[in-house]
Amino acid sequence: METRTAPHVPQRTCVGCREVAPRAQLVRLVRESAPDGAAARVRVDPTGSAPGRGAWLHPDASCLDLALRRGGVARSFRGPVDTGLLARDLEASDPTRTWNR
């Protein structure tokens, strides 16, 4: 008798709501390098495989709001980051959703 196991599904934790979800349901954020003394900018990683430290977020405005309010994004990147254009970048990556807070 042949037994099949379910394929491995990578799990990640949302930096907003802190819920664990399959990686395919989340959006990856990466930190861009910044000049000395400046806060690094956070951008969307549409491929999910850009080099550098990443954080994961549900594609939901409420999770973005929680991540920014609670400091989850800065904590994930271990330091101050510039999230000023993050909502715009997320909206550009998925125009069917409204990310404005």
Query: Is the model more confident about 2 or about 10?
Result: 10
> Domain locations in the chain?
11-93
pLDDT interval class at 96 (50, 70, 90):
low
Query: Is the model more confident about 13 or about 3?
Result: 13
pLDDT tens-digit map of 50-87: 998 899 999 888 999 999 999 999 999 998 888 888 88
CB pairs under 8 A, 24+ apart, for 20-24? Answer: 21/58, 23/48, 23/56
CB neighbours (10 Å) of residue 11? 12
CB pairs under 8 A, 24+ apart, for 43-50? Answer: 43/85, 43/86, 43/89, 44/86, 44/89, 44/90, 44/92, 44/93, 46/93, 48/23
CATH architecture of 11-93: 2-Layer Sandwich (3.30)
Please say if the pLDDT value at position 95 is more than 70: no
Strands (E), 1-101: 11-13, 20-22, 27-31, 40-45, 54-57, 81-82
Please say if the pLDDT value at position 3 is more than 60: yes
